[in-house]
Structure 1
Amino acid sequence: MDREKDRVNVTHDSLPDPDTGLSEEERQRLNKALMRKLDWNLVPWVSLLYLISFLDRANIGNAKIYGLEKDLHMTDLQYNIGLTLFFIPYSIIEPLTNLALKRMRPKLFLSLIMVTWAICLTCMGFIHNFAGLCAARFFLGLTEAGLFPGVNYYLSCWYRRKELGIRAAVFFSAAAFAGSFGGLLAAAIAEMDGIGGKPGWAWIFIVEGLATLAVGVATYWMVADFPHKATFLSPDERSRVLYRLQQDKQSSASHEKTQNAHVKQALTDWKTYFYMAIYGGCAGSLYAFSLFLPTIIKELGIVHTATHANLLSVPSYTAAVVMTIVIGWYADKSQKRGMCNLAMSVLAMVGFIMMLASNKPGVKYAGTYLIALGIYPTIPNTITWVSNNTEGVSKRGIVLGMVIGWGNLNGIVSSNIYRSQDAPRFILGHSVMIAYLAVFLFGGSLATTLLLRIENRRRRKGLRNRLVENKTEAEIEILGDKVYVLPRQSMSGLKLTSLGPTLFTPLDGLEMAGR
């Protein structure tokens, strides 16, 4: 069957209002019921998937303090190489994964990658040397690559821009929860030490790998496809989802074929590279924190066992879960995502400075809380910022892949800056992370915020109207966020050869497509 022909051909101006004739109160009631239905059917399961993926990539940090390095006769450098090898295929393949998800059914794509990475993780429990670790980590990175950009892209095909931030925050808060849950789980699984002749660290990989395999198989039945084929919605509800996206100047992802123009737009848009810098700042910091937190806590001298170190990492992650959701809610309400990034980056920098400047274990441990509170909310906030300001589902998928891929490539740096010889102060690691936060996250967010304000001012004055003069609606459509025109209903009667500034949507000062 020709899959493209099987898809519904939907354009921004082709969908009728499914609620014509209803009062405003009835519309609001139906929309609230629809949102509850979407939230319960979409967000919990994809959040579980990300919890598992982050648990599976970061559990090597827990395994290390249970003797992984010693049992495999590895040096500290070799361990860091093993960490690094995960990020190389993970980052390179990410820009391509959204194209694969778009061509395949989401449920098939997500279940397929989960089953394959579950096999890779389980195999890590049977390795005997450094070479085995390298091979397993490489293929784990290769197979995990599609989940995070894929789910963010997938959610953007269901929710309007002002609704996406809180959902992305709940989804990503699973990563923080994985940090706390991972420490507890690792401590429990490590008690299997000696069973079957396997050390405790090996059982961490085996048990978690088998659990991932089971969830991966179930995912095929638990994940819905794109809106126009969602079986959990009635025909009217499907129409309502698509109409809401149309009114928000978005598409549902099912109809638009990827064209060379979309690729060119993604590669030539200045916002793409500024967002890559911003995301590199928060992702690099996140990986350094999550991979080495148990080691850092153990070196503080306030605990004497690996289990205690894992348990003391739990509270900071728990606090990060709450802050991530709070910032997601506030950013949706205020549409000031740039300002949220600036505030959170300062909080994280203060935490790293406390770790770097003080010799008191209590002060350093308090610093881990500020780091977690500052870093974790910036990941979903930045991804939502990218999604909101990138119009055209094909371009959005490519840009998200580029941004997330580049950010995760910085995990290579994160994997190599916390060295055993630098314990207990880890001056190199903390200093590099402060630089990452100051230059990329804070500096990038500030520059992007200011440039978007300038661009919005130009659009309000009508200085971008020349881009749509003498163009057909189809030609305007392909311009995407270069113009971000009003919905077609608002253009009725306007002549595209003579336009005033009212053609362009009134925009938030910090976002080009915040409404």
Structure 2
Amino acid sequence: MEKDLRITDTQYLLALTIFFLSYAIFEVPSNVFLKRLRPSLWLSGLMFCWGIMMTVQGLVHNFGGLMGMRWMLGMFEAGLYPGVTYYLSCWYKRSEFGIRVALFFSAATVSGAFGGLLAAAISNMDGIGTCFSWPVKSHPQTFAWLGGKPAWAWIFILEGLATVVAGALSFFIIQDFPDTAKFLTEAERTVVVRRLQGDDQFSAAGEQLRMKYIYKSILDWKTWVGMMIYAGLDMPLYAFSLFLPSIINQVRFKATPANLLTVPVYFFACVITCGVGFFADRWGMRGYFNLIFLCIGAAGYIILIASRNAALSYFAVYLATCGIYPVIPNTVAWVANNVEGSYKRSVTLAMVIGFGNINGAVSSNVYRADQQPWYPLGESLVLLYIGLGLVFSFIYLIFLRRENARRNRGERNEIIGGDKSSGHEVNGRYDTVDDAKRDKGDEWSGYRYIL
């Protein structure tokens, strides 16, 4: 790409970075629109549009065009991950949510595996279409948009067109929220909603947009600690996915074998991600899984920093995946499990994921070409971010445990009706328990946080 578009290494890193800026900016608005509109329309529309942007990215022939397409790609793709995780949280109980979001997120690891295979295959298409090419007078070395396309352009074009088709089909596949889903009868919708309400998801029957729900999300300490945890995970994720083939390539292997060697890494990440999602649901100890697997990931990056042996570094890559891929959906499930109120949860998830993606921009600029093949700066900063996720996971776990203990002691009890002996005035006065649940959400005294 750098050769064909005549861009520098710094310009290439800027093209990676600008994606994260628009990706982070539009996540919160997207989740609010998702709740206001139909998921089948909003999510499928986003996918269709970013498929177009990805396709056009393969047709650009200068730095300005590349930057524009990267910005638009981030803008349209922003709503998918926070949107789908929020959407899933509206259908499943808290003890069922982790494996679902892990399965969804594992699609990213599977795509990483297939991405390596596709990149290896599509690399053979270099120059296809040259019969339509002609010289561009102002830039003779630049490909005209109908001219012969290099391999990197065909990767964007073909995968973008596949996404366009998937986006169009998803409009007919995606269902809406439980209280409005057309494939359920009225009786079935009632059963689904009551099942969720029995799991302390009081807003499952529907909720009107009120600004106080958004303010509650912004002012909730859990939102900000969750943002710090996710920042400690998302920067390593993007650094890993962006530069894994380059690391393997520079250490020992050429481009095509390097792409192929990423496949078993992503397959391992998929398996470990789904395993953590399943057992965290069953045992309900999401925070402890975070602590354990972040320590394993940190060990992997310590080896990557110290090692100068290709085989040992490749082994360390597998340890590094343990501190990234399984922990991200586990953290999303952990945050979602501890926020009640449909609008509050949608904003909280978008803020957490959006802040993490801002830090993803850091990953685009720390693996510098002049530090090949071992990238000491990049690996050290990733290790620093993993440490950040570890520290704030511990803080989140301790504070949730303390809050549950206060509620068990009755310190958060509200006054219900006229019975002042049932609670404390500072915690609020309500006519019924249902009124307290609806108004306070996860701040209600009977709500217990998942550790």
On whether the aligned pair clears a TM of 0.5, the verdict is: yes
The corresponding residue for 1:307 is 256
Matched, 1:337 2:319: no
The corresponding residue for 2:390 is 442
**Does the CA contact (< 8 Å) of 1:227 and 1:252 recur in 2?**
no
**Does the CA contact (< 8 Å) of 1:124 and 1:136 recur in 2?**
yes
Matched, 1:359 2:320: no
Match of 2:334 among 385, 391, 399: 385
Instruction: State the alpha-carbon separation in 2 of the partners of residues 122 and 460 from structure 1.
Output: 55
> Post-superposition shift, 1:246?
1.2
Matched, 1:194 2:153: no
Matched, 1:160 2:99: no
Identity fraction in percent: 48
Secondary structure in structure 1 of the residue aligned to 2:429 = coil
Matched, 1:481 2:442: yes
The corresponding residue for 2:401 is 453
Instruction: State the alpha-carbon separation in 1 of the partners of residues 109 and 202 from structure 2.
Output: 31
Instruction: State the alpha-carbon separation in 1 of the partners of residues 206 and 288 from structure 2.
Output: 35
**Does the CA contact (< 8 Å) of 2:286 and 2:450 recur in 1?**
no
Instruction: State the alpha-carbon separation in 2 of the partners of residues 338 and 101 from structure 1.
Output: 29
**Does the CA contact (< 8 Å) of 1:102 and 1:254 recur in 2?**
no
Matched, 1:470 2:417: no
Instruction: State the alpha-carbon separation in 2 of the partners of residues 203 and 346 from structure 1.
Output: 39
**Does the CA contact (< 8 Å) of 2:293 and 2:322 recur in 1?**
yes
Instruction: State the alpha-carbon separation in 2 of the partners of residues 470 and 289 from structure 1.
Output: 51
> Post-superposition shift, 1:469?
4.4
Q: Deviations over 1:306-345 (max 9, x none)?
A: 1111000111110000000000011111111111111111
> Post-superposition shift, 1:75?
1.3
The corresponding residue for 2:354 is 405
Amino acid at match of 1:226: F
The corresponding residue for 2:421 is none
> Post-superposition shift, 1:252?
5.9
After TM superposition, the structure 1 = structure 2 runs for residues 25-44 of structure 1, keeping only pairs within 5 Å, are none
Number of equivalences? 420
- TM normalised by structure 2 equals 0.91
**Does the CA contact (< 8 Å) of 2:196 and 2:204 recur in 1?**
no
Amino acid at match of 2:362: V
**Does the CA contact (< 8 Å) of 1:190 and 1:201 recur in 2?**
yes
Secondary structure in structure 1 of the residue aligned to 2:381 = helix
- TM normalised by structure 1 equals 0.80
After TM superposition, the structure 1 = structure 2 runs for residues 263-342 of structure 1, keeping only pairs within 5 Å, are 263-301=214-252, 303-304=253-254, 306-342=255-291
Instruction: State the alpha-carbon separation in 2 of the partners of residues 251 and 106 from structure 1.
Output: 20
Instruction: State the alpha-carbon separation in 2 of the partners of residues 513 and 99 from structure 1.
Output: 25
Matched, 1:108 2:26: no
Amino acid at match of 1:174: A
> Post-superposition shift, 1:468?
4.2
Q: Deviations over 1:449-485 (max 9, x none)?
A: 11111111111111111354422343552211112x4
Matched, 1:184 2:145: no
Instruction: Using the TM superposition, name which of 163-172 and 238-247 deviates more.
Output: 238-247
Instruction: State the alpha-carbon separation in 1 of the partners of residues 205 and 84 from structure 2.
Output: 15
The corresponding residue for 1:138 is 71
The corresponding residue for 2:376 is 427
The corresponding residue for 1:39 is none
Q: 1:254 to 1:100 in 2, by over 3 A?
A: farther
> Post-superposition shift, 1:357?
0.1
Instruction: State the alpha-carbon separation in 2 of the partners of residues 317 and 178 from structure 1.
Output: 8
The corresponding residue for 1:213 is 164
Amino acid at match of 2:440: L
Q: Extract unaligned runs of 5+ from structure 1.
A: 1-67, 486-503
Match of 1:243 among 194, 197, 200: 194
> Post-superposition shift, 1:251?
4.5
The corresponding residue for 2:6 is 73
Q: Extract unaligned runs of 5+ from structure 2.
A: 130-147, 414-423
> Post-superposition shift, 1:263?
1.4
Q: Deviations over 1:263-297 (max 9, x none)?
A: 12111111110000000111111000000101011
Amino acid at match of 1:243: R
**Does the CA contact (< 8 Å) of 1:157 and 1:251 recur in 2?**
no
Instruction: State the alpha-carbon separation in 2 of the partners of residues 442 and 80 from structure 1.
Output: 28
Q: 1:101 to 1:254 in 2, by over 3 A?
A: farther
Instruction: State the alpha-carbon separation in 1 of the partners of residues 347 and 450 from structure 2.
Output: 18
> Post-superposition shift, 1:159?
0.4
Instruction: State the alpha-carbon separation in 2 of the partners of residues 430 and 443 from structure 1.
Output: 19
> Post-superposition shift, 1:231?
3.1
Instruction: State the alpha-carbon separation in 2 of the partners of residues 398 and 253 from structure 1.
Output: 16
> Post-superposition shift, 1:374?
2.3
**Does the CA contact (< 8 Å) of 2:13 and 2:364 recur in 1?**
yes
> Post-superposition shift, 1:227?
1.2
Instruction: State the alpha-carbon separation in 2 of the partners of residues 250 and 92 from structure 1.
Output: 28
Matched, 1:169 2:169: no
Instruction: State the alpha-carbon separation in 1 of the partners of residues 404 and 283 from structure 2.
Output: 17
Q: 1:253 to 1:244 in 2, by over 3 A?
A: closer
**Does the CA contact (< 8 Å) of 1:166 and 1:332 recur in 2?**
yes
> Post-superposition shift, 1:235?
3.6
Instruction: State the alpha-carbon separation in 2 of the partners of residues 113 and 92 from structure 1.
Output: 15
Q: Deviations over 1:379-438 (max 9, x none)?
A: 110010111000111100110110010011111101100001011110100000000001
Match of 1:89 among 19, 22, 26: 22
The root-mean-square deviation of aligned C-alpha atoms, in Å, is 1.4
Match of 2:181 among 214, 221, 230: 230
> Post-superposition shift, 1:228?
2.4
Instruction: State the alpha-carbon separation in 2 of the partners of residues 116 and 479 from structure 1.
Output: 38
Amino acid at match of 2:48: V
Instruction: State the alpha-carbon separation in 2 of the partners of residues 462 and 427 from structure 1.
Output: 52
Instruction: State the alpha-carbon separation in 1 of the partners of residues 91 and 250 from structure 2.
Output: 45
Instruction: State the alpha-carbon separation in 1 of the partners of residues 204 and 61 from structure 2.
Output: 45
Instruction: Using the TM superposition, name which of 114-123 and 234-243 deviates more.
Output: 234-243
**Does the CA contact (< 8 Å) of 2:296 and 2:323 recur in 1?**
yes
